[in-house]
Amino acid sequence: MGKIKTFLATGTVTIIPLALTVYVLQFFFKIAISFGGAVSQPLEQFVDDANFPGFKLLTSIVGIIIVIISLIIIGFFARNVFFSRIVNWMESIFKKIPLIGIVYSTTRQIMESISGGSNKESFKKVIYIQYPRKGVWTLGFVTSESSNKQGESFYHLFIPTTPNPTSGFFLIVPKEDVTQSDISVEEGFRMIVSSGMVGSNQNQIIKD
């Protein structure tokens, strides 16, 4: 019974970020296509042949541009003191809801790190760690630090999955078992999302 609960919890934590990502992408493109359709109606009056092959593609691109501009405007207002209070109030409600609060907080933290946000809760730095076995290296994001009664120091690490960094693993490892890197948090997440295709071709890994 205990294993079933563990599998259920693991499956839930794995599928929710994936489903949320797919849902957000679908929602984004539906809005873009909707705007594109709204734009196509007045454009048809000025185009002799609105049925030419590239017309729908053109209106879809216009729709995406409109959505991006709308997001920029929302971001502008979100930085306003009044609107930021509303956003913070809504965030506080989300964070109090079981499970949803965990997903929202993690996703928000990751997005701020990727976009270069300066939130105090953002990941501190990026290190190399041998995981899941010795001789195989991956990137770990330091979330906090701790020490035991013997005074030994440990890193609290988030190990994201590729290419979806909203899911991953939490590890507590001795500081001496990791290798420091000169990779920024933003660059680290770009490497994760791109499966290593984006990033420096130099590393600080030293083989044992």
Q: How confident is the model at residue 150 (pLDDT cuts 50, 70, 90)?
A: very high
Q: What is the pLDDT of residue 38?
A: 60
Determine if the pTM surpasses 0.75: no
- The CATH number given to whatever domain includes residue 165 is 2.30.30
Q: How confident is the model at residue 127 (pLDDT cuts 50, 70, 90)?
A: very high
Residues 95 and 132 in one domain: no
Residues 8 and 99 in one domain: yes
Q: What is the pLDDT of residue 189?
A: 83
Q: What is the pLDDT of residue 102?
A: 67
Q: What is the pLDDT of residue 27?
A: 72
Q: What is the pLDDT of residue 8?
A: 66
Residues 175 and 130 in one domain: yes
145 touches 155 (CB < 8 A): yes
Q: How confident is the model at residue 33 (pLDDT cuts 50, 70, 90)?
A: low
Residues 98 and 8 in one domain: yes
Domain count, the chain: 2
Residues 56 and 149 in one domain: no
Range of the structural domain that residue 43 is part of:
2-114
- Classify residue 40: in a domain, yes or no: yes
Residues 10 and 86 in one domain: yes
- Rounded mean pLDDT of 85-106? 71
Who has greater pLDDT, 14 or 130? Answer: 130
Q: What is the pLDDT of residue 35?
A: 62
Give 46-58 pLDDT, tens digit per residue: 555 555 555 566 6
Cα gap 122→53, rounded to integer Å: 46
Residues 72 and 29 in one domain: yes
Residues 106 and 132 in one domain: no
Cα gap 140→127, rounded to integer Å: 5
Who has greater pLDDT, 157 or 80? Answer: 157
Residues 16 and 108 in one domain: yes
- Rounded mean pLDDT of 71-97? 70
- Classify residue 65: in a domain, yes or no: yes
Mean pLDDT of the chain: 74
185 touches 123 (CB < 8 A): yes
25 CB-near residues (< 8 Å, 6+ apart): none
Domain end (from 68, 84, 114) = 114
- Classify residue 160: in a domain, yes or no: yes
Residues 183 and 105 in one domain: no
Domain end (from 64, 91, 114) = 114
Biggest distance spanned by C-alpha atoms of the chain: 80
Who has greater pLDDT, 155 or 33? Answer: 155
106 exposure class (CB count in 10 Å sphere: 0-12, 13-18, 19+): middle
Residues 145 and 172 in one domain: yes
- Classify residue 119: in a domain, yes or no: no
Give 151-204 pLDDT, tens digit per residue: 999 999 999 888 777 778 899 999 999 999 999 888 888 888 888 887 778 888
Of residues 137, 100, 144, the one with CA closest to residue 122: 144
- Classify residue 202: in a domain, yes or no: no
Render the chain in DSSP notation, one character per residue: -HHHHHHHHHHHHHHHHHHHHHHHHHHHHHHHHHHHHHHHHHHHTT-S-TTSTTHHHHHHHHHHHHHHHHHHHHHHHHTSHHHHHHHHHHHHHHHHSTTHHHHHHHHHHHHHHHTT---TTS--EEEEEE-SSTT-EEEEEEEEEEE-TT--EEEEEEEE-SS-TTSEEEEEEEGGGEEE----HHHHHHHHHTTTSSS-S-------
- Classify residue 36: in a domain, yes or no: yes
Cα gap 112→153, rounded to integer Å: 27
Domain end (from 114, 140, 172) = 114
- Classify residue 154: in a domain, yes or no: yes
Residues 132 and 162 in one domain: yes
